[in-house]
Amino acid sequence: MTQSGVSHFYIAYRQTGPEPGGIAVLDAATCRIRTTQALMGARGLAAQSGGTATKLYALSEGGCNVSTVDTPTLETDTLYSDQESPPATDAAVNADGSRLFLAQGLAVLEVDTASGKEPGDHPVPQNPVFSSWETIALSPDGKRLYLGRHGQNSNRKQTPCVLAMDVPERAQDGTDAQDDNAEETDPGPGQAVDIAAPAEKYRAVRVLLSADGATLYAFVSHQADPLVAIDTATLTVTARAQGPAPTALAVSPDGTLLYAVHADRAGSILNAADLTETGTFPSTPDKAPAIAVAPDGTVCVAYSDHTCTVIAPDAAEASAPARLAGAPLAVVTAAAGEADPQPQPEYVGQYRRDAMPRRYNEYSEGHGMWSTDVTCEQGTFVPAYDKVHEGSYTLTDGVGVWRKAVLGGGENKKFYRIPAWDNLIVDGDDVTWL
């Protein structure tokens, strides 16, 4: 059951240390996390525009895998899975929710959202040649795709650009449009639009389409080149913002404003037509955030330090932060469910550097704190502990095992047992306690 006319923010976050990736449901009015749904290997999230969708599409690792997420219940189901296919890096949903388009580097995969079948696998025109495409947007009429070029990790300079590509139509020869064997019309060579000067090792070109489909916004985060606006009718750049490109971007519900998060300053509000700055909003600098705007104009920003805030329309301050279990991948708005807010998880510390939690082996000589194959990134929040192992320990065996120093010497250490992490042990020297 959903709440009519009410939207929540759905935040996909990555696996961090022992915490699995998943989706958090954030109440737009209170900035309370209402519930979460684990989703192993999460790498992205998509939904129909408008903030009223009741179904989300979650991308996960290990081939091309897409799961549906029902917003009233958060129940998940596999929509499409091909372990041999290249992974999907981004997704776009058409206006009526019947088709999902997945960017796969050299092709765009089209999936029927009702059946999970593939009505089409559309090769992307090599214009320019040797290009791979990572991000995707779809026109409101579902007839044109916009693809953002993948930044190659090489010293060879390439031009950041977007590609406009018509969606191939089924041949009108009496063949049913749902027939996977129906022939397609030739989509043509596509048209590339350069958005910045040639560069080495740039990140993927990010694309965002206005609700009416008239303007495409494109940028490369962490680049000196600015955000640009592209007229989709003429495929020409019509405006350039001032200063370096943002790290995340969202458009207001009425399409007149853009909200930009930056790596080195507070958030800016831009005129969507000419990209002039008209004001600021209370977001903090961040290198890898995610942002979305609800239908009522409430803004949600999720930060790489695993926190998120909401900013009500015209508010001078952001809400108190809520904490995520991992770094954010994407934020979308969709219809709200009826789940009651869950208690805020209790966190007692935060990793101050990348480090490895350990496993306590009481049967080993000296009660060793054994290494694991888990790494907690700097910034990972640590749940409550229930036991402390304290004493003098020495690092032995050449594989990072801390053992009790039974013959004296060693370092004075404290190790904390975390029940929520299946009793993994946290080295107190790696954590700043809150």
Residue 402 CA: distances (Å) to CA of 43, 153, 251, 267, 288: 35, 39, 51, 45, 35
Confidence of residue 74 (pLDDT cuts 50, 70, 90): confident
- Three-class secondary structure of residue 124 per DSSP: coil
Q: Which helix (H) or strand (E) holds 382?
A: strand 381-383
Contact between 301 and 317 under an 8 Å Cβ cutoff? The reply is no
Q: What is the rounded distance in angstroms from the CA atom of residue 68 to the CA atom of residue 317?
A: 35
Q: What is the rounded distance in angstroms from the CA atom of residue 318 to the CA atom of residue 310?
A: 6
User: Is 420 inside a domain boundary?
Assistant: yes
Q: What is the rounded distance in angstroms from the CA atom of residue 224 to the CA atom of residue 159?
A: 14
What integer pLDDT is reported at residue 175 of this predicted model?
Answer: 41
End-to-end Cα, the chain, rounded Å: 38
26 pLDDT exceeds 80?
yes
The percentage of residues in the chain with a pLDDT greater than 70, rounded to a whole number, is: 89
Contact between 329 and 398 under an 8 Å Cβ cutoff? The reply is no
Q: What is the rounded distance in angstroms from the CA atom of residue 352 to the CA atom of residue 380?
A: 8
- Domain with 22 in it: what CATH number? 2.130.10.10
Last residue of a domain, one of 304, 337, 370: 337
399 with 327, same domain: the answer is no
Q: What tens digit of pLDDT does each residue of 46-61 get?
A: 999 888 899 999 998 7
208 pLDDT exceeds 90?
yes
Q: Which residue has the higher pLDDT, 269 or 402?
A: 269
Confidence of residue 426 (pLDDT cuts 50, 70, 90): very high
What integer pLDDT is reported at residue 61 of this predicted model?
Answer: 77
Mean pLDDT in residue range 58-87: 89
User: Is 213 inside a domain boundary?
Assistant: yes
- Among residues 302, 386, 334, 360, which one has the least CA distance to residue 97? 334
Of 126-130, 291-295, 349-353, 385-389, the least confident: 126-130
What integer pLDDT is reported at residue 343 of this predicted model?
Answer: 63
50 with 112, same domain: the answer is yes
What integer pLDDT is reported at residue 344 of this predicted model?
Answer: 63
Position 15, amino acid: Q
Of 137-141, 149-153, 360-364, the least confident: 360-364
Q: What is the rounded distance in angstroms from the CA atom of residue 196 to the CA atom of residue 225?
A: 6
368 with 234, same domain: the answer is no
126 pLDDT exceeds 70?
yes
326 with 366, same domain: the answer is no
Give backbone dihedrals phi and psi of 421, rounded to 5 degrees, phi first: -110, 40
351 with 330, same domain: the answer is no
Of 114-123, 162-171, 238-247, 365-374, the least confident: 365-374
324 with 387, same domain: the answer is no
Q: What tens digit of pLDDT does each residue of 300-346 get?
A: 999 998 899 999 998 899 998 888 888 899 999 998 876 666 666 67
Mean pLDDT over each residue of the chain, to the nearest integer:
87
324 with 367, same domain: the answer is no
Q: Which residue has the higher pLDDT, 394 or 138?
A: 138
User: Is 342 inside a domain boundary?
Assistant: no
User: Is 132 inside a domain boundary?
Assistant: yes
Contact between 383 and 418 under an 8 Å Cβ cutoff? The reply is yes
Structure tokens at 111: 């999936």
187 pLDDT exceeds 60?
no
User: Is 353 inside a domain boundary?
Assistant: yes
Give backbone dihedrals phi and psi of 89, rounded to 5 degrees, phi first: -100, -20
What integer pLDDT is reported at residue 397 of this predicted model?
Answer: 63
Q: What tens digit of pLDDT does each residue of 189-202 get?
A: 689 999 998 888 88
Look at the chain and report how many structural domains it folds into: 2
Q: What tens digit of pLDDT does each residue of 150-167 get?
A: 987 667 888 999 999 998
Domain that holds residue 416: 347-433
DSSP 179: -
351 with 272, same domain: the answer is no
What integer pLDDT is reported at residue 375 of this predicted model?
Answer: 83
328 with 404, same domain: the answer is no
- 269 DSSP β-pair partners: 259, 279
Mean pLDDT in residue range 83-103: 92
- Among residues 47, 61, 146, which one has the least CA distance to residue 100? 47
- Three-class secondary structure of residue 421 per DSSP: helix
Last residue of a domain, one of 292, 308, 337: 337
User: Is 189 inside a domain boundary?
Assistant: yes
Is the bond leading into 128 cis (omega within 30 degrees of zero)? yes
Of 230-239, 277-286, 331-340, the least confident: 331-340
User: Is 59 inside a domain boundary?
Assistant: yes
Q: What is the rounded distance in angstroms from the CA atom of residue 54 to the CA atom of residue 204?
A: 29
What integer pLDDT is reported at residue 72 of this predicted model?
Answer: 86
328 with 376, same domain: the answer is no
What integer pLDDT is reported at residue 24 of this predicted model?
Answer: 92
Q: Which residue has the higher pLDDT, 240 or 379?
A: 240
333 with 358, same domain: the answer is no
What integer pLDDT is reported at residue 178 of this predicted model?
Answer: 44
What integer pLDDT is reported at residue 176 of this predicted model?
Answer: 36
23 with 80, same domain: the answer is yes
431 pLDDT exceeds 60?
yes
- Three-class secondary structure of residue 313 per DSSP: coil
Q: Which residue has the higher pLDDT, 129 or 184?
A: 129
Q: What tens digit of pLDDT does each residue of 414-424 get?
A: 999 998 888 99
Last residue of a domain, one of 337, 361, 392: 337
DSSP 355: B
Residue found by looking up tokens 């998120």 in the block: 308
Of 123-132, 157-166, 214-223, 314-323, the least confident: 123-132
User: Is 130 inside a domain boundary?
Assistant: yes
